[in-house]
Amino acid sequence: MQQSVTVGKEADARQIAVISREGKGPPVVWLGGFKSDMRATKAGAIDSWAEKNGRAFLRFDYSGHGESGGDFEQGTISRWLEEALAVMETHLTERPILVGSSMGGWISLLAARELMARRPALAPIGIVLIAPATDMTERLMWDRFPEGLRQGLEETGVYYRPSAYSEDSYPITKKLIEDGRRHLLLGRPIQTGCPVHILQGMEDPDVPWSHALQLVERLPGDSVSLTLIKDGDHRLSRDEDLERLIGAIEAIA
């Protein structure tokens, strides 16, 4: 069932497109990546699995993505996290399994922390992360930018970054970089309150597998699994990758 959730007030209000599938068991929640959408391959594979197995599945598009309203260039981690939490708090009645891809992995970890603090009845029972781009605005963008590009971004407020996944360039805004610094996780232990399974391709040019190792080091406890896929890329959307993804979800509940 497709619906929408209004997030924000007055001039800041945006309509967030949501697709929910009713079913049994802990609901699975999809959190997509930067410039991706809820109808992408991995989300579609989870939906097919959910339909076949009678499982509840919830997916949505951040503002400026897919079928949601809003301007992509106004997007920040704070804004997209607010939307993720609003969708979950509106649609969930029990603890979910969060599945986060790339930037959605970072937002999943932030959402888990927020839910544990303010809505423990909705805190996740498990998290599956695909090539998690934790702290991406700092570690995978700003730290990698040459000095000239940094200066240009400071002066103009936006850098149009070529993409390997689209003909259009991605706008990286100064606002996105600065806001991301409010949400950095890798400098301290990361509390999730649940098991975490990470799937990471070793041929990923966007999120190096060493980045996944840094995340594992910050996740306390013994309930952390890392699956390194030697020939895997960033998308991890091949049939064998999708089987690993479904298997990781099923292993939680």
Q: pLDDT averaged over the chain?
A: 96
Dump pLDDT digits (tens) for 196-230.
Answer: 999 999 999 999 999 999 999 999 877 999 999 99
Nearest to 85 by CA among 122, 48, 52, 131: 122
Dump pLDDT digits (tens) for 56-99.
Answer: 999 999 999 999 999 999 999 999 999 999 999 999 999 999 99
Residues 6+ apart with CB under 8 A from 137: 77, 176, 177, 179, 180, 181
Percent of the chain with pLDDT over 70: 100
- Burial pattern 192-225, b for ≥16 Cβ within 10 A else e, equals bbbbbbbbbbeebebbbbebbeebeebbeeeebe
The pLDDT score that the predictor gives to residue 221 is 77
Dump pLDDT digits (tens) for 19-63.
Answer: 999 999 999 999 999 999 999 999 999 999 999 999 999 999 999
The pLDDT score that the predictor gives to residue 162 is 84
Q: What is the pTM of this model?
A: 0.96
Domains of the chain: 2-136+190-252 (3.40.50.1820)
* CB 99 within 8 Å of CB 84: no
Q: Give the residue numbers annotated as catalytic, written as ranges.
A: 102, 204, 234
